[in-house]
């Protein structure tokens, strides 16, 4: 797709990958709207260059209202980037159902709520692009990532199924699977994060992929190769390898 001159809405744009994508889209000539719960952070990201429309991704009505505001102020979005995300390490010894539910609400229901706010209009127009930010953590199960990885795996499946469902109706669906990116969400991690990249590099990879009409954007390349190969490892071998760590 052509980003210059397009109307783009980034959901989850107050920090991290979402904020960086919003900035990169603006730099490439897009008209950008940004949403998240934190208005003050959105104002910082916008710096007066973007339409700020606060909304909580877990609130379906709030997102529907935000989408209507954006259509009125900027026109219907050609591109919607769903970048809102939640991550906390899971602990098998002290399973936290509330924390698991929070992952579901933000990562999975948040994706559904955004789709409900924009997909019908895109289908009616017969055009538009939806890019959902999942994660390579959704490719295989990893200890400590039970909640996060489960929701990311579900996002990957959801976006793939939706891509097939709307393929002949003019709407494109892109799945974005980053590896480790330096953000507020990862800065508290105490474990090694191989191939760690900065958020602005992630944003460039995403925007490059969108301009090339990629249906799947995985980065950085070394992490993409590792996790693609990991999908081929038999389940028993995968469990044995990681249970020894």
Catalytic residues: 148
Phi, psi of 33 (to 5 degrees): -115, 145
Count the residues in the chain. Answer: 245
C-alpha dihedral (59, 144, 209, 36), degrees to nearest 10:
20
**DSSP assignment letter at 215:** S
C-alpha dihedral (52, 53, 56, 62), degrees to nearest 10:
180
Picking from 131, 174, 177, the residue whose alpha carbon sits closest to that of residue 152 is 177
Q: In Å, how far are 140, 175, 180 from 193, measured between CA atoms? A: 16, 22, 6
Q: Is the distance from CB of 165 to CB of 130 less than 8 angstroms? A: no
Exposed, middle or buried, 45 (CB in 10 Å: 0-12/13-18/19+)? Answer: buried
Q: In Å, how far are 33, 42, 51, 146, 214 from 13, measured between CA atoms? A: 9, 7, 12, 25, 22
Beta partners for residue 31, in sequence order: 7
């Amino acid at each position: 797709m052509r980003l210059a001159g397009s109307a783009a809405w980034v959901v989850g744009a107050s920090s991290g990958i979402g904020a960086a994508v919003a900035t990169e889209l603006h730099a490439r000539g897009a008209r950008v709207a940004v949403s998240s719960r934190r208005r003050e952070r959105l104002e910082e990201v916008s710096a007066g260059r973007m339409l700020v429309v606060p909304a909580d991704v877990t609130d379906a009505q709030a997102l529907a209202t935000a989408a209507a505001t954006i259509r009125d102020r900027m026109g219907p979005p050609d591109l919607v980037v769903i970048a809102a995300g939640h991550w906390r390490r899971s602990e098998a010894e002290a399973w936290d159902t509330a924390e698991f539910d929070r992952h579901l609400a933000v990562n999975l229901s948040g994706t559904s709520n955004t789709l409900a706010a924009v997909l019908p209009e895109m289908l009616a127009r017969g055009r538009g692009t939806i890019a959902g930010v999942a994660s390579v953590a959704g490719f295989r199960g990893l200890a400590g990532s039970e909640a996060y990885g489960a929701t990311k795996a579900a996002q990957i499946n959801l976006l793939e199924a939706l891509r097939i469902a709307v393929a002949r109706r003019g709407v494109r669906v892109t799945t974005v699977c980053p590896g480790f990116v330096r953000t507020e969400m990862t800065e508290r991690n105490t474990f090694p994060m191989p191939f760690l990249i900065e958020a602005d590099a992630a944003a460039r990879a995403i925007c490059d992929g969108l301009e090339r009409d990629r249906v799947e954007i995985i980065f950085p390349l070394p992490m993409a190769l590792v996790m693609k190969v990991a999908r081929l490892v038999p389940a028993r071998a995968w469990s044995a390898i990681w249970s020894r760590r």
